[in-house]
Every structure is written in structure tokens, then in C-alpha cells.
Amino acid sequence: MTQKQLQEFQRRLDAELNEFKEQQKLGSKLAGQRSQMTTQLNENEMVKQELVLIQEGSQIYKLIGPVLVSQDKEDAMAVVEKRLEYLNGEISRLDKQIKDVETKQDQHRERIMEIQQQAQAAVQKQQQQQHR
């Protein structure tokens, strides 16, 4: 295999490796976001449960800045429900993106293996020719 061919293999390998690492970084970031959203989702679920359980006559307050502002039970429920909807939507969106990233990672992995195999085959062929 000529020097030029060797460099070509190396170049293709490097390109695939870089893309693979990019996808890995993206995957990590998305996983972090998803985990954060899940935490918020759980917290809001708990608040919703508490709101459902409160007895008549209990006053609800929301912390806005340094002030506890009185809230209507229906309003509070509505706000929490909306937030839950939003969070669920975001989590599904993130899940799709994560799946995409994983597929891309698999593709890169395959191509890297292909390149390595091709390089190996070329080296072997050259060795056989030399030993003739």
C-alpha cells in the first residue's frame, strides 16, 4: 500500500471518529436535559397530588419573588397541568433526538469498522504480493 493510500485511510478514519465523538457529546447533553426535565416532571406531579388532596378551606400560595401570593385552587391546578403537558412534550422530543443520535453513532461505528477492515485487507494483499 502506498503512502498516499495509507494517508487516505487515516484521513477517512479520522473524519468518522470526529463525527462519532460529536454525536457522543450531543448525546450526553441531551441525556442531561432529559434527566433535568424528568426531575421537574416528578416534582410537578407531586404538587398536583398535593393540590388534589387538600381539604376545603386550605389556602394556596405561590412564591413570586419574595412574596407569597394567594392562589385559586383551580388556577393552581391549571398551571401545574399545563406545565406537566409541556414537560411531557419536551421529554418525548428529547427522546426522539436521543434516538437519532444513537442511530448516527451506530452508523459511524459501522463505517469505522469497514474502513479498518479495508485497510487491513489492503495491507495483507500487499504482504502476499511481496512474499511471492
Partner 1 sequence: MAESSGSGGGGVPISALSLEQLGRAKESLEQETQHLVSSLQTLNGVRERFLESRRCLEALAGYRAGDRVLVPLTSSLYVEGEFTDTSEVIVDVGTGYFIRQGVGAAEKFMDRKVAFLAENLQRIQEVVNVKKRQQEALLAEMHKRILSQQQQQQQQGQSSQGPSRGGSASSSS
Does the protein bind partner 1 through residue 47 (CB under 8 A)? Answer: yes
Contacts of partner 1 in 79-118 (CB under 8 A)? 80, 83, 102
Alpha carbon distance 52, 34 (integer Å): 27
Alpha carbon distance 85, 99 (integer Å): 21
Cα Rg of the chain, angstroms: 28
Does the protein bind partner 1 through residue 71 (CB under 8 A)? Answer: yes
Selected binder of partner 1 within 2, 3, 58, 130 (CB under 8 A): 58
Phi, psi of 59 (to 5 degrees): -90, 135
The CB-side HSE value for 33 (13 A sphere, CA atoms) comes to: 17
Nearer to partner 1, 13 or 27 (CB): 27
The region of 8-16, 58-66, 112-120, 122-130 touching partner 1 under the rule CB under 8 A is 58-66
Alpha carbon distance 109, 24 (integer Å): 12
| Interacting residues toward partner 1 by CB under 8 A | 24, 27-28, 31, 40, 43-44, 46-47, 50-51, 54-55, 58-64, 68, 71, 76, 80, 83, 102
